[in-house]
Structure 1
Amino acid sequence: MENFYILDTTLRDGEQTPGVNFTLEEKLEIAKMLDKAGVKVIEAGIPAMGQQEIEVIKKMNCLGLKCELLTWNRLSKSDIEKSLETGVKNIHIGVPTSDIHIYNKLKKTRKWLIETLKDVVNYAIHKGCKVSVGAEDASRTDMDFLIEFYKTAEELGVSRVRYADTVGALDPFGVYENIKKIRSEINIEIDFHGHNDFGMATANALAACRAGAKYISATINGIGERAGNTSLEEIVASLKYIGKYKTDFDMKQIPVLSKYVEKASGIKLSKNKPLVGEAVFSHESGIHVDGLLKDRRTYEFIDPTEIGRESKFVLGKTSGKASVRNAMKELGMKLDDDKISQILERVRKGESLEKKKEPLKKLKYRVVGIFSGEIKLPFIFP
């Protein structure tokens, strides 16, 4: 039995990132890749957006995926009808629950919200739908009213409720307390949907899981509105390797998913993006390389090969003798300490020259190789 499930919303909330617009082919490919990786639920899109979105979800529904497809809807019977056109009867209804949203955006009341929830959920269930209900802006919703909202949804027969930290307003301590309180009041599953406005989406999702939320909404590479959503790769790895949670997620699919979505979305990843960034398993510091050569665990908490990555040693200004010696070994050369020291000195000088933007051709050495496919300078040898 898995301890948590990923509800991926790359194709819904992720596509709400300004400038991101996946093609039909990209959406279908992402869906297949998520299914292969072991995602439990894919939030496929918003049918109410129009016929084009409906057709995409129809095609997705014909892929024969093992995971569940989920459509996103407003608190509206017309949205439910649009979802039914896709052939997907697993629907999510997003409901604004904070007073900021109820009174200022909807211009309604809490009483109206509860009564409309009953009407729309009953309508969807009568149509044969499996329904989940989400509290939008739950983190700024009065807790007593939020629990009333969730209890009403539970009594109506929904399968799951969502707690959305819509503007990333919480820290892990607040998330833990809130989810723990809600968990003590209802018996159905809880889905935590976090945003990264203050850089705490992954930590908040981890806290939510600790408190009893079994479903975690996430997006590949953490894409999404504003600062993005909980990053799928970060939360899966955090729960598995730090939290010691059980999961059937195929960790080796993480870099595959990340690279594909990076290209399809047009959002370039930073080199130090946790787990998937180009440089996160690269080591230059002499102290680090020396430690890694003796025991990988000294400076790598997880074996990068478990998530389809590999370590790289990079020669540069902060390199030490162990780095150079290992580089020479890779090139099939065995040199004494004096020669190693000479090479290290030239590597460091070369690094300084590079930073001054002086042409590398001024270095009067010949290139003999490149170490592990990544290096800051040509590897030089007298």
Structure 2
Amino acid sequence: MIEIMDTTLRDGEQTSGVSFSAREKLSIAKMLLVELGVNRVEIASARVSDGEFEAVKEIAHWAERAGRLGQLEVLGFVDGTVSLDWIGSAGCRVMNLLCKGSYKHVTKQLRKTPEQHIADIRSVVSNAAERNIDVNIYLEDWSNGIKNSPDYVFQLIDGLMDLPICRFMLPDTLGVLNPGNTFEYCKMMVDRYPQLKFDFHAHNDYDLAVANVYSAIRAGIRGIHTTVNGLGERAGNAPLSSVVAMLKDQLDEVSSVREERINHVSRLVETYSGVHIPLNKPIIGENVFTQCAGVHADGDSKNNLYCNELLPERFGRVREYALGKTSGRANIRKNLETLGIDMDEEAMQKITERIIELGDKKEMVTPEDLPYIISDVLHHDAMADQKIRILNYSLSLAQGLKPVATLKIEIDGEAYEESASGDGQYDAFVRALRRIYANLGRPFPMLTNYSVTIPPGGRTDAFVQTVISWNYAGVDFKTRGLDADQTEAAIKATLKMLNKIEG
């Protein structure tokens, strides 16, 4: 079993521009430990601020009640009892003590001898034991230390290994390692000190963090540090999602992490951090389970010829087939099957030609747009069998007054009408819609995100794609609307949502 310590709330928060509120920190800590199942979480650095102190107290209070206090860790410093006082007062029981793992750091930054630094560390560990606080030790800049001053690294550990230290944590602080020397240096530590527990902490400066984790585990390291979405200082840390998948598929190792919850937690951290997940980010990127070439869709229909072990269902996702100039009929047919639409060959040919035409213009074509394309190409209403229809609506906008919407919709053959004002035309429309649903005693989904994209070129008559994220009965999903008018596109996306939850 490989032990995962996630440091999103400490090292991840060192990402430029990222600062989690106390409530967000508590929410992320709960999801990491309870929903995702990581073994430990590093939640803060001691002595940062009064706000950080209150956040740590709140998380510790929850963890104590939940029987998880031993899974919380706080970074502390070799500062006598100052960090210990801070951590103890906040209610935590584990300190990750930041020590100097290279001769250069101890002599140039601290301006101390190795013997003085070891004595200072021993004093802190002794005080921690008296307070019933467990200690792990970070050997800061260990990667440079083991490369350039291994005698110092061994002197440091030899001088501390008799103390009640739970783990010695080996950080590649500056992200300078590669898979070859990671294996060499980690094996050196494991072979020399087989009785000690070691963690490996990778940074991603050369985009080698996951590869280095792979080598560290092959060398015998059993504890790995990660962050959600790879957040962290500079180029970030080893992303939890990629590490967990790599452990299982490449090393045949197991962890306690629940793969099917990774995507959900990643999206939550994306929202709280404001750092968007790249579309091509392995495991969690928006596009990584999307096949573009038609030959791939055809192969997937013939015994999954273009699938590897990274099946989207493992991570709570589904495979999609992109629509564009490289699609071909196989991609289009896959999307039509998902929508429950059956087309004859003549119709398929016309739709294929239209999608290729749109792809040549670099316009985004999505599965949700297919009914509109079908309607456009075949001149019929592809939405005729929907349970909910918008019969009519009126939107008014006047300077100095709130926008007003009047809406008339049909639900299962019955017509309902309401009016409402809002902060914008779409907001007024949704408020009127909510009133109808409230009067009928029906639940209405929560809108969680709203984004608008326009194809390149910026023409005033360009299609506007509105993507709206919803949460209904605990399930997250998206709907898209396509129109030349932004509000109309949002209304179309909302209509799709209504029929989706009714279906």
- What's the TM-score once normalised by structure 2's chain length? 0.69
Gaps of 5+ in 1: none
Alpha-carbon offset, residue 307 of structure 1: 1.0
Match of residue 4 from structure 2: 6
1:364 CA displacement: 6.2
Residues 1:46 and 2:45 are matched in the alignment: yes
Superposed displacement of residue 14, structure 1: 0.8
| TM superposition shift of 1:339 | 4.2
Aligned partner of residue 315 in structure 1, secondary structure: coil
Partner of 2:75: 72
User: Counterpart in 2 of 1:194?
Assistant: 202
Q: TM-score, normalised by structure 1?
A: 0.90
> Per the alignment, in what secondary structure is the counterpart of residue 256 of structure 1?
helix
Q: Structure 1 CA distance, aligned partners of 2:257 and 2:318?
A: 19
248 and 219 in structure 1: CA distance in 2 versus 1, 3 angstrom threshold: same
Measure the CA separation in 2 of the matches of 1:297 and 1:249. 28
Structure 1 Cα separation of the partners of residues 19 and 225 of structure 2? 20
Correspondence 1:260 to 2:260: no
The yes-or-no answer on 1:130 pairing with 2:134 is yes
Paired residues for 1:1-382 under 5 Å: 3-36=1-34, 37-63=36-62, 64=66, 66=68, 68-77=71-80, 78-141=82-145, 142-186=149-193, 187-296=195-304, 298-354=306-362, 365=377, 368=382
- 1:179 is paired with a residue whose SS is helix
Cα pair 1:167 1:195 within 8 Å, conserved: yes
Q: Which amino acid aligns with 2:174?
A: V
Give per-residue Cα distances to partners, 1:101-137, cap 9 Å, x unaligned.
2222222222222222222222222222211111000
Task: State whether residues 197 and 228 of structure 1, in contact with CA within 8 Å, keep that contact through their aligned partners in structure 2.
Answer: yes
Percent of aligned positions that are identical? 32
Larger CA deviation: 115-124 vs 171-180: 115-124
1:377/1:153 Cα in 2 relative to 1: closer, same or farther (>3 Å)? farther
Q: By how many angstroms is 1:240 displaced?
A: 1.6
Give, in whole Å, the separation in 2 of the partners of 1:331 and 1:115.
69
Taking the aligned partners of 2:346 and 2:209, their CA distance within structure 1 comes to: 50
Q: Deviations over 1:44-69 (max 9, x none)?
A: 11122133322221211121253611
Assess if the C-alpha contact under 8 Å between 1:194 and 1:201 holds in 2.
yes
Deviation at 1:279, TM superposition (A): 0.8
d(CA) in 2 for partners of 1:54 and 1:375? 42
Give secondary structure in 1 for the equivalent of 2:269: helix
Which amino acid is the alignment partner of residue 62 of structure 1?
Answer: H
Taking the aligned partners of 2:326 and 2:158, their CA distance within structure 1 comes to 58
Q: Distance in 2 between matches of 1:144 and 1:306?
A: 45
How far 1:341 moved relative to its partner? 3.3
Residues matched between the structures, number: 371
Q: Take 2:360 and 2:25, find their aligned partners in 1: how far apart are those partners?
A: 46
Of stretches 132-141 and 91-100 in structure 1, the one that deviates more from structure 2 is 91-100
Name the aligned partner's letter for residue 318 of structure 2: E
Distance 1:17 1:244 in 2: 31
Deviations 1:321-352 (A, max 9, x none): 21223334444444454543343222111211
Q: Per-residue CA shift, 1:8-51, capped at 9, x if unaligned? A: 11111111112111011100000100011111111111122133
CA distance in 2, matches of 1:155, 1:297: 55
1:72-97 Cα distance to aligned partner (Å, 9 max, x none): 11112211221111121211101122
Amino acid at match of 2:7: T
Matched-pair contact (CA < 8 Å) for 1:312–1:374: no
The answer to whether the 8 Å contact 1:47/1:86 transfers is no
Q: In structure 2, the residue corresponding to 1:134 is in which secondary structure? A: strand
1:133·1:153 contact (CA, 8 Å) conserved in 2?
no
- Please, which moves more after superposition, 136-145 or 96-105? 96-105
C-alpha contact 2:172 2:202 (8 A) present in aligned 1: yes
Query: SS state of the match for residue 296, structure 1?
Result: coil
Whichever residue aligns with residue 24 of structure 2, its letter is: E
Give RMSD over aligned pairs.
2.6
Judged with a 3 Å threshold, the aligned counterparts in structure 2 of structure 1 residues 260 and 90 are, in CA distance, closer, same or farther, namely same
Going from structure 1 to structure 2, the CA distance change for 1:220 and 1:291 (only over 3 Å counts) comes to same
C-alpha separation between the residues in 1 aligned to 2:135 and 2:248? 29
Instruction: Return closer, same or farther for 1:329/1:148 CA change in 2, 3 Å cut-off.
Output: same
Name stretches of at least 5 consecutive residues in structure 2 with no aligned partner: 365-371, 384-464, 466-476, 484-503
Distance 1:254 1:329, change over 3 A: closer
